């Protein structure tokens, strides 16, 4: 009988300890909160000193492509008007030749537009890559210095609510480092 009573006593202690564990678990979890920062990545990115010069370079390149596109469009339009003006007088073989020339010219113009868009996109990615790397490095530095577990990007309504008591807006800290 004594062994049965002794085991019942140990079971009660186990239940009590389990109850205490579950009762105090929310308090323990609440004590270990994450420290985090947040900012609008795009806002900070666009205020970087290098951003303006990169944009100016891309605008200049874009202008060159647009000027060339306009030139070839004008050239095509001129040839097309000449074709329309003379099509009644052309022999059938000359008419087919001129039509073929216009089609080839149009195909080259379309290919040039597509290629220029691809090249502009690639130039933008290449020009922006070092800026993104720099900003990411500054965010890592701020995160380590301030002891954050992570930094949230609030762009595009990704984080509709942040309790300011739980996190810190790091925009000014990041911008001050980038402005150095």
Question: For 7-26, what is each residue's pLDDT tens digit?
Answer: 555 555 544 444 544 555 45
pLDDT tier for residue 125 given thresholds of 50, 70 and 90: very high
Do 52 and 62 sit in the same domain of this protein? Answer: yes
Domain co-membership, 8 together with 38: no
Shared domain check, 23 and 54: no
Angle between helical axes of 171-178 and 92-146 (0-180°, round to 10): 110
pTM of the model as a whole: 0.70
Domain CATH for 131: 3.30.910.20
Q: How confident is the model at residue 38 (pLDDT cuts 50, 70, 90)?
A: very high
How many folded domains does the chain comprise?
Answer: 2
Which residues constitute the domain of residue 21? 1-32
pLDDT higher than threshold 60 for residue 144:
yes
Q: Are residues 150 and 122 in the same domain?
A: yes
Taking alpha carbons only, the member of 42, 69, 63 closest to residue 153 is: 42
28 and 7 together in one domain:
yes
Q: Does 110 score more than 50 pLDDT? A: yes
Q: Cβ neighbours of residue 139 under 8 Å, at least 6 residues apart?
A: 39, 151, 170, 174
Mean pLDDT of all residues in 82-91? 91
Check residues 14 and 47 and name the one with the higher pLDDT: 47
User: Residue 31's pLDDT is what?
Assistant: 47
DSSP 3-state of 37: strand
Domain identity same for 132 and 46: yes
pLDDT at 13: 52
Confidence of residue 34 (pLDDT cuts 50, 70, 90): confident
- Is residue 102 very low, low, confident or very high in pLDDT (cuts 50, 70, 90)? very high
Mean pLDDT of 156-167: 88
50, 7: one domain: no
Same domain for 118 and 52: yes
| 37 and 11 within one domain | no
Contact between residue 54 and residue 169 where contact means Cβ atoms under 8 Å apart: no
Q: Is 114 helix (H, G, I), strand (E, B) or coil?
A: helix
Do 46 and 72 lie in one domain? The reply is: yes
Distance CA 152, CA 175 (A): 16
Query: Both 116 and 170 in a single domain?
Result: yes
> Do 20 and 64 fall into the same domain?
no
């Amino acid at each position: 009988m004594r062994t049965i009573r002794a085991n019942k006593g140990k079971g009660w202690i186990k239940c009590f300890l389990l109850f205490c564990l579950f009762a105090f678990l929310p308090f323990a979890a609440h004590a270990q909160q994450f420290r985090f920062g947040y900012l609008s990545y795009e806002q900070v990115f666009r205020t970087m000193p290098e951003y303006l010069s990169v944009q100016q370079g891309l605008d200049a390149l874009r202008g060159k492509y647009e000027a060339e596109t306009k030139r070839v469009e004008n050239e095509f339009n001129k040839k097309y008007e000449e074709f329309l003006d003379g099509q009644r007088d052309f022999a059938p073989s000359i008419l087919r030749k001129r039509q073929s020339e216009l089609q080839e010219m149009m195909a080259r113009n379309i290919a040039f537009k597509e290629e220029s868009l691809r090249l502009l996109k690639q130039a933008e990615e290449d020009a922006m890559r070092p800026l993104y790397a720099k900003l990411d490095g500054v965010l890592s530095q701020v995160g380590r210095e301030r002891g954050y577990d992570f930094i949230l990007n609030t762009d595009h309504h990704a984080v509709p609510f942040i309790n300011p008591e739980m996190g810190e807006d790091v925009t000014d800290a990041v911008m001050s480092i980038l402005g150095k």
